[in-house]
Structure formats: structure tokens, C-alpha cells
Amino acid sequence: MNKLEVKFFDEYKSVDNICRDMFQSNQGVTEYIKQMEVMDAEGSRIVVNWREKYKKLKHLRWLRNQIAHESGAPDLAENDLIELQNFHNQLLKQVDPLAELWKKRRVYKRNVVKQEYYEPVDDDSTISVFILICIVISVIGLFWIFTSFMGVL
């Protein structure tokens, strides 16, 4: 392995360990990719560049497998190491694609709960109650007028 491959491999191991801890799985980055696949429809709608990040992560895993199982990764470039380091930092700062999706889900659920809790009373029922109160007051008023009038006769 050349120096770039060694650096890449070491960085990948760090990222893989974080992912293993995140998912309590032996598969690490592979589990992260599987979770992205499971949540693809929602993630691609909500998280900016979801699919590009997914493809990049798969490419980085492919490069790692080339280094580990073959005679090296001739396609490995310095930019790949930088991408892997960026993903590592995103994981640590919890701004990786899955973390972004989970955060946006929580915000959405919180907003839905607020809407359900603070939802105003239906206008039709408010009007119906108002009309009913007016009718009751009118009947009481008419009864009072009628009884007063009968007392005069």
C-alpha cells in the first residue's frame, strides 16, 4: 500500500467505528449505507444532495474494499481522502445525511404536535353555540315579557 492508501484506510477505519457505534452493528459504513437506502424516498426529498452523498459514500466503501481485498486502489485520489475526512467530520458534528434527516423529522413532528394542540375550534361549531345561546336568551326574554304582560291583564 502506498501512503495515500494507508491514510485512506486508517481514516475509513475511524469512520467505520463511529458507524458501528451509531447502529450497534458490526457492519459500520455498510449499515449506514443500508439505512440511507431504507430512507431514500424521504431523504432525497428532505436532505440536500442526499443521492450524491449516498453515491459518494458507496464509492468510498468500494475504494476501501479495493485496498483491503485487492492489490490496492489505482483509482484512489487525494480528493477521495478529503471526502472521507469531510464525512468523518460530518459524523462527529452530527451534520451527516442521516443526522440531518433525523433532525428534520423531529422538527416536523414537533410542528405537527403544535398544530394539533393549538388548532383553533372549528368555526361552524362556534357559530352553532352562539346561535343556540341567542335562541335560549330570546326564549327566556319572550317568557319574561309574556309573564309580565299576563300580570297586567
pLDDT digits (tens, 9 = 90+) for 35-49: 999 999 999 999 999
Residue 1 half-sphere exposure toward CB, CA atoms < 13 A: 18
Task: Say what the pTM is.
Answer: 0.70
What are the residue ranges spanned by the domains of the chain? 3-117, 125-153
The conformational region for residue 127 under phi > 0 = left, psi -120 to 50 = alpha, else beta, is: alpha
Per-residue pLDDT 10s for the chain (153 aa) are 899 999 999 999 999 999 999 999 999 999 999 999 999 999 999 999 999 999 999 999 999 999 999 888 898 999 999 999 999 999 999 999 999 999 998 887 767 655 555 555 556 677 778 888 888 888 888 888 878 777 665
Cα-Cα-Cα-Cα dihedral sign, residues 9, 15, 18, 23: negative
Give the whole-angstrom CA distance, residue 75 versus residue 52. 19
